[in-house]
Structure 1
Amino acid sequence: MAMLGRTSVGRRWAVGGAALALTVVTGCGGGGTGESAAGACEPASGKVTLQYWSWVPGMEQAVDLWNREHPDIQVELKNTPSGNAGTYQNLSNALKAGKAPDLGQIEYDSLASFRLKEGLRDISSCPGVTEAETRFADWTWSQVEFGAEGEDGVWAVPQDTGPMALFYRKDVFEDLGIAVPKTWQEYEAAARTVRKAGKYITHFPQTDPNWFTGLLWQNEATLFEREGDAWKVTVDRPESRQVADYWQNMIDDKLVATDLQGFSPALYKSWNSGEVVTWISAAWGYSTLRDNAKATSGKWAVAPMPQWKAGEKRAGNWGGSTTAVLAGSPHPAEASQFALWLNTDPKALEILNREGGLYPAAKAGLDLPALKKPVDFYGRQPVFDVFAEASAGVDTGFTWGPTMTDTYRFLSDGTANAIGGGSTLGDVLKQTDAQSAESLRKQSLDVTE
């Protein structure tokens, strides 16, 4: 798999400067606050028990393996709902109460929010952490290494990524004489043919702002920019409006199903019945389709995302998580050791890919046998070859803001209103832009126009 080049995205995304001078709780040996990245992170002298919250299916198998191989560092796993479905709020509450776990699963887009809440431990001084940088895809490490200018810390260990591609019903496309669309113009034409056959090309969910952000990402429509110590909100920009106008047209012409929510029984039924025949999704989506559309085994295939300009090879990214050591953990050295093992050990990576469908951020994960073999559900297609190419086309300059939870809520609420006919997706961009800027100001952050 071709790796993405190293860029300054980590610094552009940095939550730093005077406006965000955060106190970091180190928790080393019961330590207090105020230690910098250079603070001590010494291993404990005796046995240690760590608490870890995660929503990855099959994670218990990886944790059991660790516990068997590391009798002096035991991990207790708590299975939780996905981040914005409950885990992030529960983590925030636990941090306020001083009862947070040692480790938590946190998506890349939410790391800055937890840093803003003083909820993360800078683990750059913990044994083996900085040396691990070369073991991960460059762009994923730049997502976890950020801080004040010239004072980058490491706030988590990359776990997985979500390069996007097009899942499509190969049999339906062949029956209707549709070539696999290489551009969004061709995708719209395919949608009209599919609709005439009584089906939908895809669904447009009301409550998946992460998915819509992935579509924006493909068009290099970053949501935020840094200007010195200030933030500039760029949700409403020409590249974003191009994406929004395209999908608004698809909605207006009733070419997409708008009554289906992501990851819902109704959506799964539409896949099994053939009512919905494509899904623009991430690498981890291969197991979502496999496990929830079993009646269609052998009928799906995977192709690159349609492009805005013919011949390009751009891809969005949807999702991807890290394993973060939370502020207040009394055992950051051991927690960091587990986080590194979980996301680099070949046996652990194999479990997380097989059971949880994770596409690993670690370079070693690309050599997993499962990522090189044909997949039965997809007609024996080696689908991860497509995602390897997609990963190489992800824009590394995409910038997350420090209040992404708010931005996603604004996008979600606005999208629901637009689908209901109360506004347009273009209006949603304008509203979200203004609301996100106000959200930053409420956090006492500098915002530039």
Structure 2
Amino acid sequence: MAMRDLTSLARRCVYGGVALALTAVTACGAGGGDAGDSGAAGASCEPASGKVTLDYWSWVPGMQNAVDVWNKKNPDIQVKLKTTPSGNAGTYQNLSNALKAGKAPDLGQIEYDSLASFRLKEGLRDISACPGVGAAGDEFVDWTWSQVQFGAGGKDGVWAVPQDTGPMALFYRKDVYDKLGLKAPATWEEYAAQARTLKKAGKYITHFSQTDPNWFTGLLWQNKATMFEREGDAWKVTVDRPESREVADYWQKMIDDKLVATDLQGFSPALYKAWNSGEVVTWISAAWGYGTIRDNAKSTSGKWAVAPMPQWKAGDSQAGNWGGSTTAVLGDTEHPAEASKFALWLNTDPTALEILNREGGLYPAAEAGLQLPALKQPVDFYGKQKIFDVFAEASANVDTDFTWGPTMTDTYRYLSDGTAGVIAGKSTLGDVLKDTGSQSADSLRKQALDVTGG
């Protein structure tokens, strides 16, 4: 049977009602399957007999430098890199279209929260039988490896290799804070009070973007407001829950009181201009965000600092997680062994890890990556603060039980579309939670998955 026919078979099996989760999924055909079946756990993974060229899509700055190192060392396995927009900005839709057309790359960068969506709709390759993969789990932070394993007890497949994580903290303009007599806020109540002080000084404390639903999800994550839960073989949609409402009501008031900039989108020239001018003075973001500010607000070098996320209850130390990616081997690849070998090297080799941290701003998922000298040193741009100490603490305080739904790309679209209405004054974030919950439940049902609630 041809590879594409087997991939289609795998997709039909999933659509037939098999529930997926990043924490507990029973794979169709578990325990065996035809040798080339991209959807079956335990599929064979034999190395090619000759030279191989792999196509890889990624949006990480500096990735070409890492690929160049690989290509120089591996003349028989060459990698061709295509630089793409970040996931929600276009890569995911392009990957989906390419998979449907049978023209997908061998490897693609996919965030943890979107893995299940691609597994459900488009097909990822199970690489658990590929050389080196079975023993690789110990090389990564525990919770990241569990997020790339689908199956009861994590035994039914490995669908990607962890690349980086996104523990969240508060980036803030220390020069502005010092001038106004402010200190890094310990609580969200303090943060809101600071927003009022900054507003009087002609500044916004931060921006609220309609195009970053992943960011808002990170805020929910900090408050242990998981959006999905498993009840046996069924899904329970919990987008609209008290913990989520607490977060939504807080930011709705910030929007209503015009304490946040609502005309700036994430990762936009307008936002970068506001950072450079001092119009916007904080950003609640992930570890990788240090490179975003550094590279796009160069005139502010030495003026920023990093502090833990504000807490809902004084004395707590909870952190959210925003993003973090994997290197996924896509379902139609003809070279899973070689693709897996490159993915493992890219995310465990010290030279590759150093390049991706230095040039791409990635906070590694590999245990060895956390020992990079750069993560132990003061950072000039941030006033010589050892900012990665803050992110290391945040990483240890991320709730690892947060569950992704199998159609997160749909859920994010509902959040983004709903937030546009909030910015326009036509609805509230509370309305968005309610609508996103019901729409997400409908999306699951359309995939023939069992759903309770929503």
Pairwise TM-score range, normalised by the shorter structure = over 0.9
Residue 398 of structure 2 corresponds to 394
Of 167, 178, 194, which residue of structure 2 is paired with 1:190?
194
Correspondence list, 1:297-336, <5 A: 297-336=301-340
Of 92, 98, 104, which residue of structure 2 is paired with 1:100?
104
Residue 211 of structure 1 corresponds to 215
Of 326, 346, 349, which residue of structure 2 is paired with 1:342?
346
Aligned length: 435
Q: CA deviation at 1:370?
A: 1.1
TM-score by length of 1: 0.93
The one-letter code sitting in structure 2 at the alignment partner of 1:328 is: D
2:134 maps to 1:130: yes
The one-letter code sitting in structure 1 at the alignment partner of 2:426 is: G
SS of residue matched to 1:152:
coil
Correspondence list, 1:287-302, <5 A: 287-302=291-306
Of 359, 366, 390, which residue of structure 2 is paired with 1:355?
359
Of 375, 391, 394, which residue of structure 2 is paired with 1:371?
375
**Deviation per residue, 1:211-246 (Å, 9 max, x gap):** 000000000011111111111110000000000000
Of 153, 158, 161, which residue of structure 2 is paired with 1:154?
158
**Deviation per residue, 1:178-226 (Å, 9 max, x gap):** 1210010111111111111111111111111010000000000111111
The one-letter code sitting in structure 1 at the alignment partner of 2:254 is: M
Residue 265 of structure 1 corresponds to 269
Runs of 4 or more above 2 Å deviation: 11-17, 20-26, 31-39, 147-152
Whole-Å separation in 1 of the counterparts to 2:51 and 2:38: 27
Whole-Å separation in 1 of the counterparts to 2:358 and 2:122: 34
Whole-Å separation in 2 of the counterparts to 1:16 and 1:205: 33
Whole-Å separation in 1 of the counterparts to 2:102 and 2:321: 34
**Deviation per residue, 1:37-95 (Å, 9 max, x gap):** 22321212221111111111111000000000111111111111111222111111221
Q: CA deviation at 1:36?
A: 3.2
Q: RMSD in angstroms over aligned alpha carbons? A: 2.0
Residue 22 of structure 2 corresponds to 13
2:225 maps to 1:221: yes
TM-score by length of 2: 0.92
Whole-Å separation in 1 of the counterparts to 2:370 and 2:190: 32
Residue 448 of structure 1 corresponds to 452
2:448 maps to 1:439: no
**Deviation per residue, 1:106-132 (Å, 9 max, x gap):** 110110011102510111111111201
Structure 1 contact 24–327 (Cα < 8 Å) conserved: no
Of 69, 72, 78, which residue of structure 2 is paired with 1:65?
69
Whole-Å separation in 2 of the counterparts to 1:139 and 1:117: 24
Q: CA deviation at 1:262?
A: 0.6
Correspondence list, 1:159-178, <5 A: 159-178=163-182
Distance change in 2, residues 1:150/1:163 (3 Å): closer
SS of residue matched to 1:314:
coil
Whole-Å separation in 2 of the counterparts to 1:16 and 1:115: 11
Whole-Å separation in 1 of the counterparts to 2:405 and 2:186: 31
SS of residue matched to 1:444:
coil
Distance change in 2, residues 1:294/1:38 (3 Å): same
Structure 2 contact 199–259 (Cα < 8 Å) conserved: yes
Q: CA deviation at 1:329?
A: 1.1
The one-letter code sitting in structure 1 at the alignment partner of 2:255 is: I
Structure 1 unmatched ranges of 5 or more: 1-10
Residue 60 of structure 2 corresponds to 56
SS of residue matched to 1:430:
helix
SS of residue matched to 2:114:
helix
Residue 430 of structure 1 corresponds to 434
2:258 maps to 1:251: no
Q: CA deviation at 1:147?
A: 2.4
The one-letter code sitting in structure 1 at the alignment partner of 2:208 is: F
**Deviation per residue, 1:358-411 (Å, 9 max, x gap):** 110001001111111111111111111110111001110111111111100100
Residue 418 of structure 1 corresponds to 422
Distance change in 2, residues 1:35/1:225 (3 Å): closer
Distance change in 2, residues 1:232/1:50 (3 Å): same
Structure 1 contact 164–387 (Cα < 8 Å) conserved: yes
Q: CA deviation at 1:22?
A: 7.4
Residue 3 of structure 1 corresponds to none
Structure 2 unmatched ranges of 5 or more: 1-19
Q: CA deviation at 1:138?
A: 0.5
**Deviation per residue, 1:249-280 (Å, 9 max, x gap):** 11111111111111111111111111111110
